[in-house]
C-alpha cells in the first residue's frame, strides 16, 4: 500500500467512526460535549503515561476513555447544583482538566513524544510511519488498526443497541418507565464517544475532533428525516470529507486535518443552501411561492366580499386595488395577471375584475365557508 | 390486598431538595376506573404520576401496582408523558414512535418485527391516525401528536394507564376522540389516571377524581368528592368552578397557588 492510500484509509476510518457517534451526540443536544471530551482525554493519556512510561501502552486508551466519562460526570454534577448552567459548566470543566494536562506535559514530559502541536493538530500524515508488526510481519499502520477497531466498536454498539439508544434519546422518561436504564445507557454511550475521541485525537488533534463528530451528522439532518438514513448519510459525508480533505491538503500542501474539517464544513454549507426540503434556497422559494399564492387568495376573497354589493363596481377595479388593499401598483398587476392565468378571475371590458366559479370556490374554501 | 385494587399509594412524600412537592399521600385506586387528577399548577400532579412510575425517588412511602412494586409490574403500566417532553423534530416517523410502546415487551436487544408493526398500525387505527403512519413526526399538529402518544400507550396493552395532560393543546374533536378511547379502556376493565386541567369536563369524562394540592384533598367517585367545598380547599379558596355546569368567573390562578395557608387553615380531608 502506498503512503497516500494508507493516510486516506486512516482518514476515512477516523471520520466515519466520529460521525456515527456524533449522530447521537447531536440528537441528544450534547454536541459541545465532544469538544470537551476530545480535550480532556489528554489528561487521561498523560496520567497513564506517567504510570506506564510507555507511549504505546494500550492502557492509554483506557485512561483517556475514563477521563472522558469523568468529564461528562463532572459537568453533570456541576449542572445538578443548579449554580451553573450546562454550557457554562462545560466551559469550566474542560479547560480545567485540559490545562492540567498541558502543564504536566510541558513540565515533565518534554523529552517524550507528547508535544502540544501534535495534541492540538494531530499527526495523520505520520500515521504510515508507525507500523504494527507481529513476529516481524508488517501489518500496516498502527492507527489504521486502532481506528478500525474503534469504528467496529461504534458500529456494533449502535447496531446492537439501536432501539434502546433511539428510545432513550427521544423519550428518556418512557425509556426509564419501560426499564431501559437510560442513565446506564447514557454513560455507556459517553464511554464510546470518549474512546472514539481518543482515537480521532491521535489522528486529527483535539481541536478538530468536534468538526468530525458534529459536521457530518448536522449535514445529514438537513437531507433526511429518518434515523437509519441519517446514520448512513452521515457516514458517507464523513468519508467524502476525509477524501476531499486529503487531496486538497495534497494539492495545496497544507494540514490534512485542517483540510478534512474544512471539506466537511463546505459539504455542510452546500447542504445548508441546496438541501431539497430544508435548504435555505428551497425555503426561500417556498416562501416566495406562498406569498404570491396568498396574495391571489386575498384578492379572490376581497372580490367575493364585494360581489353584488353596491360598491362592487368601485372595489373590484384593478386600478383601485392599491387604494383598497394597500398594494403597490406593480405588485397588484402581477397578482391580477397570475390570478387570471390560474383562471380565478376574468378582466372585464370596463376594467372591473370578476371572479370565476373556480375563484369563488377557492375563496370560500380559504375562509372555511 | 385483592386484585381489585389497581394502584395503592401509601404515605408517599416526594421532595425536590427540602421542598416537599407531595406530602404524605395515601391513595387507593380501584381497578376499572377512569380517574382525573386535578389541582392547581404546582400541586404535584405530574410528580405523583412520575413517582408511581419510579421516575422519581420518593423521600418516603411506596406505590403498589396491582399489589406489587412498579419494578415488578412494568409490563402492566403504560405511560403517556406530556407532549412537550420530547423533541418533535427527531428524525423519525409516526409508526416508529408508536412501535416504541412495544419496546418494553420486546426487552433488550430484540428488534421490532412484523408483529410490532401490525399491533402499532392497529393502535393508530384506534386513534384515527393510520393514514399518518409514515409521516415525519415534525409535521403533526398538537392534537395529532397527542393521538400518536395515546396510540403508543395503547400498543403496550397495559392494565394501568398513566397519562400526563393528554388533552393539552388539542382541538375539541380530538378531545372527544381521546375520551372515547379512554372510556373504552375502562369498559375493558383497565384503570386510567389522567392529569387534567379543565374542571368543567371532569363530571362528563371521568367517574373518579383525585383532588390534589401538595397533599391529597379528596379522592373517590366524582359525584361524591367533586364538591364545591373540596374544590375550594384544593384551589386555595379561589374556586374556579362550581357544580357540574356553572363555571364561575373566578379563574384559577395562573402561577403556583400562593394561598396555601388558606386551605391549611381549613383542614379537613
Could you tell me which residue, B2 or A132, shows the higher pLDDT? A132
* CA–CA separation, B35 and A100 (whole Å): 58
**Coil, strand or helix at B215:** strand
Residue the block writes with cell 395503592? B8
* CA–CA separation, A62 and A75 (whole Å): 20
Secondary structure E strands in chain A: 131-134, 137-141, 345-347, 353-355
Chain A CB contacts of B136 below 8 Å:
225
Q: Residue B250's pLDDT is what?
A: 41
Residue the block writes with cell 434556497? A281
State the smallest CA–CA distance between residue A163 and chain B in angstroms.
7
Q: In tens digits, what is the pLDDT along chain A, a chain of 369 residues?
A: 788 899 999 999 999 999 999 999 999 999 999 999 999 998 998 899 888 887 777 788 889 889 999 999 999 999 999 899 989 999 999 999 999 998 988 887 665 556 666 667 777 877 788 788 888 888 888 889 989 999 999 999 999 999 999 999 999 999 999 999 999 999 999 999 999 998 888 778 887 889 999 999 999 999 999 999 999 999 999 999 999 999 999 999 988 888 999 999 999 999 999 999 889 999 999 999 999 999 999 889 888 888 877 777 777 777 777 777 888 888 888 898 899 898 898 888 877 888 898 888 888 888 876
User: Hey, is the C-beta of A226 within 8 angstroms of any chain B C-beta?
Assistant: yes
Question: Are B85 and A160 an interchain contact pair (Cβ–Cβ within 8 Å)?
Answer: no
Nearest to B205 by CA among B235, B238, B175: B175
Question: Are A176 and B54 an interchain contact pair (Cβ–Cβ within 8 Å)?
Answer: yes
Q: If you count DSSP H runs as helices and E runs as strands, how many of each does chain A have, helices first? A: 16, 4
Which residue from B minimizes the CA distance to A222?
A: B91
All domains of chain A in start order, with CATH: 3-215 (1.10.3470.10), 282-368 (1.10.10.10)
Question: Are B100 and A171 an interchain contact pair (Cβ–Cβ within 8 Å)?
Answer: yes
Nearest to A260 by CA among A220, A224, A216: A216
**How big, in percent rounded to 5, are the helix, strand and coil portions of chain A?**
80, 5, 20
Which residue from A minimizes the CA distance to B158?
A: A178
Which residue from A minimizes the CA distance to B156?
A: A178
Q: Is the pLDDT of residue B26 over 70?
A: yes
Question: Are A164 and B81 an interchain contact pair (Cβ–Cβ within 8 Å)?
Answer: no
- What is the residue-wise DSSP string for A160-214? HTHHHHHHHHH-HHHHHHTT--HHHHHHHHHHHHHHHHHHHHHHHHHHHHHHHHH
User: What mean pLDDT is predicted for residues B133-139?
Assistant: 94
State the smallest CA–CA distance between residue B73 and chain A in angstroms.
10
Model confidence over B166-224: pLDDT tens digits? 999 898 889 999 999 999 999 999 999 999 989 999 999 999 999 999 999 999 999 99
| CA pseudo-torsion sign A315, A318, A323, A324 | positive
**Coil, strand or helix at B191:** strand
Question: Are B90 and A170 an interchain contact pair (Cβ–Cβ within 8 Å)?
Answer: yes
Q: How many CB atoms sit inside 10 A of residue A295's CB?
A: 19
Nearest to B49 by CA among B161, B178, B215, B158: B161
* CA–CA separation, B165 and B37 (whole Å): 10
Nearest to B160 by CA among B236, B80, B51, B216: B80
Question: Are A171 and B103 an interchain contact pair (Cβ–Cβ within 8 Å)?
Answer: no
Chain B CB contacts of A170 below 8 Å:
86-87, 90, 92, 97, 100
* CA–CA separation, A179 and B71 (whole Å): 8
Question: Are B91 and A230 an interchain contact pair (Cβ–Cβ within 8 Å)?
Answer: yes
The reported pTM is 0.85
User: Hey, is the C-beta of B90 within 8 angstroms of any chain A C-beta?
Assistant: yes
Question: Of A174, A179, A226, which has the smallest distance from its Cβ to B93's Cβ?
Answer: A226
* CA–CA separation, B111 and A160 (whole Å): 9
Q: Distance from first CA to last CA of chain A, Å, rounded?
A: 73
* CA–CA separation, A272 and A267 (whole Å): 8
Nearest to B5 by CA among B54, B60, B76: B76
Question: Are B77 and A177 an interchain contact pair (Cβ–Cβ within 8 Å)?
Answer: yes
Question: Are B92 and A169 an interchain contact pair (Cβ–Cβ within 8 Å)?
Answer: no
Q: What mean pLDDT is reported for chain B?
A: 86
User: Hey, is the C-beta of A184 within 8 angstroms of any chain B C-beta?
Assistant: no
Question: Are B100 and A167 an interchain contact pair (Cβ–Cβ within 8 Å)?
Answer: yes
Prediction ipTM score: 0.85
Question: Are A170 and B86 an interchain contact pair (Cβ–Cβ within 8 Å)?
Answer: yes
Q: Is the pLDDT of residue B24 over 70?
A: yes
Residues in chain B: 269
Is residue A10 within 8 Å of A147, Cβ to Cβ?
yes
Q: Which three cell numbers stand for residue A114?
A: 507528547
Nearest to A268 by CA among A214, A226, A232, A225: A214
Question: Are A173 and B55 an interchain contact pair (Cβ–Cβ within 8 Å)?
Answer: yes
User: Hey, is the C-beta of B73 within 8 angstroms of any chain A C-beta?
Assistant: no
Is residue A43 within 8 Å of A101, Cβ to Cβ?
yes
Question: Are B108 and A164 an interchain contact pair (Cβ–Cβ within 8 Å)?
Answer: yes
Model confidence over B87-112: pLDDT tens digits? 999 999 999 999 999 999 999 999 99
State the smallest CA–CA distance between residue B205 and chain A in angstroms.
26
pLDDT band at B241 (very low <50, low <70, confident <90, very high): low
For the range A271-280, what are the long-range contacts, defined as Cβ-Cβ under 8 Å and sequence gap of 24 or more? A271/A219, A271/A222, A271/A223, A272/A219, A272/A222, A275/A222, A275/A223, A276/A223, A278/A222, A279/A222
Chain A CB contacts of B104 below 8 Å:
178-179
Residues 6+ apart with CB under 8 A from A341: none
Is residue A125 within 8 Å of A66, Cβ to Cβ?
no
Q: How many CB pairs below 8 Å do chains A and B form together? A: 68
User: Hey, is the C-beta of B19 within 8 angstroms of any chain A C-beta?
Assistant: no
User: Hey, is the C-beta of A107 within 8 angstroms of any chain B C-beta?
Assistant: no
* CA–CA separation, B184 and A146 (whole Å): 58
User: Beta strand pairing status for B19-30 and B160-164?
Assistant: unpaired
State the smallest CA–CA distance between residue A37 and chain B in angstroms.
24
User: Hey, is the C-beta of A178 within 8 angstroms of any chain B C-beta?
Assistant: yes
State the smallest CA–CA distance between residue B90 and chain A in angstroms.
7
Amino acid at each position: 500500500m502506498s503512503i497516500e492510500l494508507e493516510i486516506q484509509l486512516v482518514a476515512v476510518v477516523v471520520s466515519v467512526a466520529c460521525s456515527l457517534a456524533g449522530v447521537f451526540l447531536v440528537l441528544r443536544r450534547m454536541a459541545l460535549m465532544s469538544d470537551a471530551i476530545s480535550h480532556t482525554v489528554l489528561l487521561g493519556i498523560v496520567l497513564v503515561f506517567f504510570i506506564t512510561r510507555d507511549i504505546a501502552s494500550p492502557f492509554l486508551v483506557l485512561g483517556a476513555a475514563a477521563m472522558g466519562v469523568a468529564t461528562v460526570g463532572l459537568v453533570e454534577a456541576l449542572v445538578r447544583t443548579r449554580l451553573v448552567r450546562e454550557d457554562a459548566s462545560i466551559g469550566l470543566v474542560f479547560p480545567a482538566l485540559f490545562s492540567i494536562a498541558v502543564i504536566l506535559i510541558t513540565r515533565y514530559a518534554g523529552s517524550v513524544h507528547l508535544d502540544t502541536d501534535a495534541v492540538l493538530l494531530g499527526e495523520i500524515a505520520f500515521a504510515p510511519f508507525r507500523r504494527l508488526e507481529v513476529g516481524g510481519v508488517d501489518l500496516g499502520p498502527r492507527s489504521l488498526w486502532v481506528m478500525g477497531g474503534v469504528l467496529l466498536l461504534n458500529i456494533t454498539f449502535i447496531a446492537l443497541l439501536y432501539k434502546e439508544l433511539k428510545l432513550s434519546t427521544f423519550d428518556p422518561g418512557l425509556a426509564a418507565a419501560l426499564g431501559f436504564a437510560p442513565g446506564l445507557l447514557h454513560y455507556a454511550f459517553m464511554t464510546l464517544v470518549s474512546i472514539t475521541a481518543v482515537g480521532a485525537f491521535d489522528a486529527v488533534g483535539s481541536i478538530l475532533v468536534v468538526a468530525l463528530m458534529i459536521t457530518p451528522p448536522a449535514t445529514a439532518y438537513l437531507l433526511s428525516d429518518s434515523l437509519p438514513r441519517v446514520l448512513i448519510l452521515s457516514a458517507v459525508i464523513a468519508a467524502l470529507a476525509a477524501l476531499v480533505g486529503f487531496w486538497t491538503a495534497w494539492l495545496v500542501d497544507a494540514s490534512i486535518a485542517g483540510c478534512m474539517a474544512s471539506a466537511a464544513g463546505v459539504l455542510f454549507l452546500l447542504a445548508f443552501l441546496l438541501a431539497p426540503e430544508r435548504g435555505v434556497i428551497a425555503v426561500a422559494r417556498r416562501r416566495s411561492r406562498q406569498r404570491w399564492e396568498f396574495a391571489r387568495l386575498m384578492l379572490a376573497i376581497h372580490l367575493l366580499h364585494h360581489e353584488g354589493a353596491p360598491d362592487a363596481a368601485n372595489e373590484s377595479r384593478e386600478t383601485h386595488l392599491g387604494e383598497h388593499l394597500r398594494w403597490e401598483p406593480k405588485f397588484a398587476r402581477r397578482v391580477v395577471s397570475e390570478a387570471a392565468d390560474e383562471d380565478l378571475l376574468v378582466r372585464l371590458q370596463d376594467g372591473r375584475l370578476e371572479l370565476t366559479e373556480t375563484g369563488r370556490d377557492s375563496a370560500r374554501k380559504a375562509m372555511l365557508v | 390486598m385483592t386484585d381489585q385494587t389497581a394502584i395503592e399509594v401509601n404515605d408517599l412524600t416526594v421532595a425536590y431538595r427540602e421542598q416537599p412537592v407531595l406530602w404524605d399521600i395515601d391513595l387507593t385506586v380501584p381497578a376499572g376506573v377512569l380517574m382525573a387528577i386535578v389541582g392547581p399548577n404546582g400541586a404535584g400532579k405530574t410528580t405523583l404520576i412520575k413517582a408511581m412510575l419510579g421516575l422519581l425517588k420518593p423521600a418516603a412511602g411506596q406505590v403498589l401496582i396491582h399489589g406489587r412494586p412498579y419494578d415488578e409490574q412494568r409490563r402492566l403500566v403504560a405511560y403517556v408523558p406530556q407532549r412537550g417532553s420530547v423533541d418533535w423534530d427527531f428524525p423519525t416517523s409516526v409508526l416508529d414512535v408508536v412501535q416504541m410502546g412495544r419496546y418494553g415487551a420486546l426487552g433488550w436487544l430484540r428488534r421490532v418485527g412484523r408483529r410490532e408493526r401490525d399491533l402499532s398500525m392497529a393502535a393508530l387505527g384506534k386513534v384515527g391516525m393510520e393514514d399518518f403512519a409514515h409521516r415525519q413526526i415534525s409535521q403533526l399538529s398538537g392534537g395529532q401528536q397527542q393521538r400518536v402518544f395515546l396510540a403508543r400507550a395503547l400498543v403496550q396493552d397495559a392494565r394501568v394507564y398513566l397519562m400526563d395532560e393528554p388533552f393539552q393543546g388539542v382541538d375539541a374533536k380530538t378531545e372527544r376522540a381521546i375520551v372515547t378511547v379512554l372510556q373504552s379502556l375502562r369498559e375493558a376493565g383497565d384503570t386510567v389516571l389522567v392529569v387534567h386541567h379543565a374542571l368543567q369536563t371532569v363530571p362528563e369524562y371521568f367517574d373518579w377524581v383525585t383532588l390534589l394540592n401538595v397533599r391529597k384533598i379528596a379522592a373517590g367517585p366524582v359525584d361524591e368528592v367533586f364538591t364545591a367545598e373540596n374544590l375550594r380547599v384544593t384551589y386555595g379558596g379561589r374556586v374556579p368552578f362550581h357544580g357540574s355546569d356553572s363555571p364561575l368567573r373566578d379563574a384559577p390562578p395562573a402561577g403556583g397557588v400562593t394561598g396555601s395557608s388558606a386551605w391549611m387553615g381549613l383542614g379537613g380531608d
